[in-house]
Chains A and B, each alone.
Chain A
């Protein structure tokens, strides 16, 4: 670990490489977390199948690329297909657990996640898939900092999708209904908002976001049927850190997590890269529950 730290101190360019690549992957994390925060905030459901939706989106784009089309064309296709998948998931399963205890919705979506992962494994096998558009690599600082062009593109697209969604929620009529439902579903219902419809749309929208993230992941990285859980854990951790209603916080936490993971992998060794995410999550939960306890005391 110290020798690795010395590398960073002597040649900070490697730190730049880690940071840049971390920020790029972090944007994909942030996109998934954005969707999770949306569903969590509006429906009070923690969607544990979040990562599986990402995986599904990746497979759609991969299929599109196999038709000989540029994988970037798979992005809207993934979003559209996942929108439908999300809508179906809501209509078949999720609507039954919306008003119930959160634990039940966690179990239900966990089950859905397992189902999706096994289904994909059954159909496509457990092989690693990638649909790289082969755009080459940009090298900076004597070749030490390498940035895959496709990663850069994924970063920009992730931010773009996020911003568009934010604008939609802020300014469209349906977006207003979504926000109203998030604030108080009962009052919204009384005022004529069809909350069931809003829930279905929100869940479908989240699935489409995950579809976009998966599409970017299969182009810039790799996917296989079991990548779901790390994505779910990451997005859970991002949302918990940032807070459910805090969109800029989600973006910052997402990018920060990407960077932190890369540095942890470099300094502590790859074996601790994923472990580090879990550790960070425990820390965040401890700190947050401390803070909340303080708030409660203050209220008494």
Chain B
């Protein structure tokens, strides 16, 4: 008896679910993000960004595609921070789950693993967290990235160095650069950007170390920095590298006139290291003080406040760019007037819009060429935008005073 009741209940529920499904038209976006493994923090930021944009769009009544209104939803899988798993999941999303629109995972390595799959199925992927240059040299037609490519992250610091040295009457070609970059596609692109930009000014790369991902002590590299006294020290190794670097630079009292790194904000260096984080320059895709706006979120500051309200933290740029990826999709759906992946792809390629995150305009490779990188400096316990100089609100503090005077 009881079991028959259960069967009836299940059947009824199934019927209900089926009708509920038919009543609202939904566009399902598929995403594999890192909920476990080494990228789980940034994976969570990625998911939060996607969810926030989806919620905002649905709350505003959904999307008008052709003459129908659709709600958005995202189907998530956990890629465990491993490329092989991400590729598998891309296959599963498209082939088994029938997802026709994919959102990117976190990190260049995983995006690199998924892109060939989405490309093969001719399914668009709008991604917000894979900045490696190599993603855009393979002739992919269905890949679109809203963020600036990774070679631009710290090349902006080299530019700033050149500017400052010249301003103080020095010779930029006498500048010595030290670099410590993690051994992964993203950080190696950052390195390439620094090397190329430095070459243009005739600067010399005196230290060029690769940090293995397992390393949790970079004192050997920093001892070298003490010995060779470079003017500009650049570090890139995701949040982990930033924490390690700030920690050990302070402990070993390592000095350079300018120190720049990536991922400081997602690493939370100000909160963790307070005064020891002062003067450090951080590359960022986005900042809440920038003047970009859109209809969905309002200004960059509005977006930041919304994230604080919804999730209880101040958004690192990973949240912003992920939300922007969903916005780009929404914009393309409406312009395409169709849910045919090819038409949406063409609409994506023609994107030219401003979001709270920045201007978006894709070139033929799917790179966003309309948005430059930002450099912060930690000044009196706060991030202040100091570069590019033309719209920076604050002046860069250069050179960094020696430790004995701090």
Stretch in B91-99, B236-244, B281-289 with 4+ CB within 8 Å of A: B236-244
Stretch in A155-163, A190-198, A221-229 with 4+ CB within 8 Å of B: A221-229
A125 contacts B223, CB within 8 Å? no
Contacts A148-B251, A222-B247 given; indicate if A21 touches B219 (C-beta within 8 A). yes
How many angstroms from the CA of A7 to the CA of B221 in the assembled complex? Answer: 13
Stretch in A11-19, A65-73, A92-100, A282-290 with 4+ CB within 8 Å of B: A11-19
A11 contacts B212, CB within 8 Å? no
Q: How far is the CB of A58 from chain B (nearest CB, A)?
A: 11
Stretch in B24-32, B37-45, B57-65, B351-359 with 4+ CB within 8 Å of A: B37-45
**B interface vs A, CB < 8 Å?**
36-41, 44, 180, 183, 208-212, 214-221, 223-224, 226-228, 239-240, 243-244, 247, 251-253, 267, 272
Other than A121-B37, A132-B247, A269-B210, give 20 A-B pairs with Cβ distance below 8 A.
A7-B228, A127-B41, A128-B239, A130-B247, A139-B253, A143-B226, A143-B253, A146-B251, A221-B217, A224-B240, A226-B214, A227-B214, A262-B219, A266-B221, A269-B209, A269-B221, A270-B221, A271-B183, A271-B211, A275-B212
Q: How far is the CB of A170 from chain B (nearest CB, A)?
A: 33
A179-202 residues at the B interface, CB under 8 angstroms: none
Residues of B within 8 A of A146 (CB): 251-253
Contacts A271-B209, A274-B214 given; indicate if A126 touches B41 (C-beta within 8 A). yes
How many angstroms from the CA of A131 to the CA of B244 in the assembled complex? Answer: 13
B215 contacts A270, CB within 8 Å? yes
How many angstroms from the CA of A270 to the CA of B181 in the assembled complex? Answer: 10
Contact with B along A105-148 (1 / 0, CB 8 A): 00000000000001001100111101010000101000110101
Among candidates A4, A137, A143, A269, residue contacting B251 with C-beta atoms closer than 8 Å? A137
Task: Tell me how many residues of A have a C-beta within 8 Å of chain B.
Answer: 43
Among candidates A14, A126, A130, A273, residue contacting B223 with C-beta atoms closer than 8 Å? A14
How many angstroms from the CA of A236 to the CA of B247 in the assembled complex? Answer: 28
- A245 proximal to B (CB < 8 A): no
- A175 proximal to B (CB < 8 A): no
- A250 proximal to B (CB < 8 A): no
Q: How far is the CB of B168 from chain A (nearest CB, A)?
A: 24
B37 contacts A126, CB within 8 Å? yes
CB nearest neighbor in A for B240: A128
Residue among A21, A25, A261 with most chain B CB within 10 A: A21
CB-defined A-B contacts under 8 Å, sample of 6: A126-B40, A128-B239, A128-B240, A224-B216, A270-B212, A271-B211
Residues of A within 8 A of B40 (CB): 121, 125-126
A262 contacts B247, CB within 8 Å? no
- A41 proximal to B (CB < 8 A): no
How many angstroms from the CA of A273 to the CA of B209 in the assembled complex? Answer: 11
A-B CB proximity, top 6 nearest? A265-B220, A271-B210, A270-B209, A266-B220, A128-B243, A146-B252
- A243 proximal to B (CB < 8 A): no
A130 contacts B224, CB within 8 Å? no
B223 contacts A222, CB within 8 Å? no
B36 contacts A118, CB within 8 Å? yes
B209 contacts A230, CB within 8 Å? no
B212 contacts A121, CB within 8 Å? no
How many angstroms from the CA of A130 to the CA of B37 in the assembled complex? Answer: 19
How many angstroms from the CA of A118 to the CA of B82 in the assembled complex? Answer: 14
CB nearest neighbor in B for A127: B41
Residues of A within 8 A of B244 (CB): 128, 222
How many angstroms from the CA of A263 to the CA of B272 in the assembled complex? Answer: 29
